[in-house]
């Protein structure tokens, strides 16, 4: 009869950050500083004794809802062939059809979907990147976590230098403060500190209106940025497209979008030079692969958002050399560490995602349930 799913274990963890961070949304009073990441984990065990680990996440509210939804649909997995990911995903979608195909509903499925891909790659004895069809064994990596707005410029410079010393290949800093001149001063200071040859990006976290974004973009051309990220509201695909067509500096966006159709619209309108899909936010690896295929067809570059632990595999399997985002916030949750050298992150050579939960992860667990 073949292998079958025997049990599913779901967990909700709140992983604290070493220090609270603030981006433009905090600087303008829309959000509070970020102090921890909420993670929904899914561990699948099969009758053959294989195990898979997947996860989804939220910054701030939403993870309790993800956990509740996953718990409600998970009984549909029992007795299924774990290799039939397409059929299982559709079944889970239909189980929750009433709450739609985006946002919390599909983010809950993402943890399950990633766990199923992990099982599949482990069965093949391959790292996930190789199961998908890798183009390379390492991907370009840049650091984000050192460049937030609450940090004084001297601290941002120090952290940037440390990242480069650690082998990371690029630096991103946050912008989008109420006073644009303050952004430009920080940008100039970091550019001078890391030198003209080091890849540098900025991220405005949706802070500007169209005229402000254009003004910033024109002034910033001289800094030779790899990209300007989320200059506008995440859903302003037309505005992003106009900026991308007007500026020499590439535009990056897409991290806040939570469904395939939302990202397809961005691709169709050419709203991003660098598309930034996020596996947990779009509902898992299964929908992500559709987005990646369309992005490649449109000749776009891809720089997936956050969760480097998953995205290192997806970026390695994308035809064009991609960037992954170095944010170490989830590292305490996992026993393994990713290898970074010469500006690149190496794809782990362990089967699957190459991840296991750390022995002491339970101290951040808020909830868990086993379904069998
Ligand atoms: Mg961003």
Note the pLDDT of residue 322.
94
Active-site choice (120, 174, 240, 311): 174
Question: Which residues neighbour ligand 1 (ion) by CB within 5 Å?
Answer: 203
Instruction: Please report the pLDDT score of residue 1 as a whole number.
Output: 75
Taken in order of first residue, the domains within the chain and their CATH numbers are 5-125+359-371 (3.30.390.10), 129-346 (3.20.20.120)
The per-residue pLDDT for 27 is: 87
Q: Which pLDDT does position 332 carry in this prediction?
A: 96
Q: Classify strands 138-143 and 323-326 as parallel, antiparallel or unpaired.
A: parallel
Distant-in-sequence, close-in-space partners of 51: CB < 8 Å, separation ≥ 6: 43, 44, 45, 119, 122
Distance (angstroms) between ligand 1 centre and the Cα of 293 equals 22
Separation of CA 203 and ligand 1 centre (Å) = 6
How many angstroms separate the alpha carbon of residue 205 from the centre of ligand 1? 6
What was the pLDDT predicted at 131? 98
Please list the rounded mean pLDDT of every run of 10 residues in the chain (372 residues): 95 97 91 96 98 97 98 98 98 97 97 98 98 98 96 97 98 96 98 98 97 98 98 98 98 98 98 98 98 98 98 98 97 98 98 97 98 97
Q: How far is the CA of 204 from the centre of ligand 1 (A)?
A: 8
pTM, two decimal places: 0.98
**Contact between 106 and 289 (Cβ < 8 Å):** no
- The secondary structure of the chain, three-state, reads CCCCEEEEEEEEEEEEEEEEECCHHHHCCCCCCEEEEEEEEEEEEECCCCEEEEEEEEECCCHHHHHHHHHHHHHHHCCCCCCCHHHHHHHHHHHCHHHCCCCHHHHHHHHHHHHHHHHHHHHHCCEHHHHHCCCCCEEEEEECCCCCCCCCHHHHHHHHHHHHHCCCCEEEEECCCCCHHHHHHHHHHHHHHHCCCCCEEEECCCCCCHHHHHHHHHHHHHHCCCEEECCCCCCCHHHHHHHHHHCCCCEEECCCCCCHHHHHHHHHCCCCCEECCCHHHHCCHHHHHHHHHHHHHCCCEECCCCCHHHHHHHHHCCCCCCEEEECCCCHHHECCCCCEECCEEECCCCCECCCCECCCHHHHEEEEEEEC
Is 305 a known active-site residue?
A: yes
258: its two tokens: 């939570």
Distance 54 CA to ligand 1 centre (A): 22
Query: 12, 69, 305, 313: which one is catalytic?
Result: 305
C-alpha–C-alpha distance, residues 167 and 342, integer Å: 5
Which tokens in the block code for residue 192?
Answer: 């001078």
Q: Is 297 among the catalytic positions?
A: no
Tokens read off for 182: 């303050």
Q: Using the mean position of ligand 1's atoms as its centre, give its distance from the Cα of residue 95 in Å.
A: 32
In percent, the amount of the chain with pLDDT more than 70 equals 100
Ligand 1 centroid to residue 311 C-alpha, Å? 15
CA of 225 to the centre of ligand 1 (A): 15
> What are 12's two structure tokens?
């909700």
């Amino acid at each position: 009869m073949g292998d079958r799913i025997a049990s599913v274990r779901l967990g909700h963890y709140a992983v604290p950050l070493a220090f609270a961070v603030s981006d433009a949304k905090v600087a303008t009073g829309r959000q509070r500083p970020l102090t921890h990441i909420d993670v929904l984990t899914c561990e699948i065990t099969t009758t053959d004794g294989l195990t898979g680990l997947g996860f989804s996440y939220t910054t701030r509210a939403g993870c309790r809802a993800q956990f509740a939804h996953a718990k409600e649909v998970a009984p549909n997995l029992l007795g299924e062939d774990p290799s039939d990911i397409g059929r299982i995903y559709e079944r889970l979608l239909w189980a929750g059809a009433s709450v739609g195909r985006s946002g919390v509903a599909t983010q809950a499925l993402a943890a399950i979907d990633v766990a199923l891909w992990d099982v599949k790659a482990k069965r093949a004895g391959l790292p996930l990147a190789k199961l998908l069809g890798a183009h390379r064994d390492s991907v370009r990596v840049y650091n984000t976590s050192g460049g937030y707005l609450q940090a004084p410029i001297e601290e941002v410079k120090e952290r940037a230098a440390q990242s480069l010393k650690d082998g990371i290949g690029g630096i991103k800093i946050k912008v989008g403060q109420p006073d644009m001149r303050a952004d430009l001063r920080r940008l100039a200071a970091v550019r001078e500190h890391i030198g003209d040859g080091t890849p540098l990006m900025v991220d405005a976290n949706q802070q500007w209106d169209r005229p402000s974004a254009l003004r910033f973009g024109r002034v910033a051309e001289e800094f030779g940025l790899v990209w300007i990220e989320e200059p506008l509201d995440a859903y302003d695909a037309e505005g992003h497209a106009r900026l991308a067509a007007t500026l020499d500096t590439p535009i990056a966006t897409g991290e806040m979008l939570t469904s395939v159709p939302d990202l397809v619209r961005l691709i169709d309108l050419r709203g991003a030079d660098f598309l930034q899909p996020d596996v947990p936010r779009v509902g898992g690896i299964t929908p992500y692969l559709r987005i990646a295929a369309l992005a490649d067809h449109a000749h776009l570059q891809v720089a997936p958002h956050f969760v480097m632990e998953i995205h290192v595999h997806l970026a390695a399997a994308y035809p064009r050399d991609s960037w992954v985002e170095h944010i170490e916030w989830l590292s305490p949750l996992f026993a393994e560490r990713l290898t970074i050298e010469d500006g690149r992150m190496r794809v782990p050579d362990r089967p699957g995602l190459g991840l296991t939960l750390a022995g002491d992860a339970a101290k951040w667990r808020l909830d868990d349930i086993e379904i069998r």
